[in-house]
Amino acid sequence: MTVSYETSLETAYQQFLSGKISGEEAYKLALGVECECGNGGTHCWSSTHEEMRNQMMAAKYSDTSVETLITTCINCGKQLNQLQCKLVCECGYFASCSDYY
């Protein structure tokens, strides 16, 4: 399913709960769609809508494996390359064995 910003937060949340959209799509929709109540658009003050957005945004990281998180550069977000016992990034960041074991 493709991400559509023409849907409402409530509809996107139901699609998220039913598994029709991925965690990455849920994250993007949570940031960009408005709720139906009209109380602030994408920055609604409703605690219910805030909880919906928080759950959808957290789903982005539940789809990500631990290995992927460990091998992602904390400076620029690119994938780290393994060089002997170090993980090295193009931006100059590196993690030694003791940093991630």
Each residue of 42-96: pLDDT tens digit? Answer: 677 778 888 888 888 887 766 566 677 778 888 887 888 988 888 899 999 888 8
Of the two residues 85 and 6, the one the predictor is more confident about is 85
2-11, 31-40, 78-87 — which one is most confidently predicted on average?
78-87
pLDDT at 5 over 70: no
pTM of the full predicted structure?
0.51
Phi/psi for 41 (5° steps) reads: 65, -120
Answer yes or no: are the C-beta atoms of 41 and 8 closer than 8 Å: no
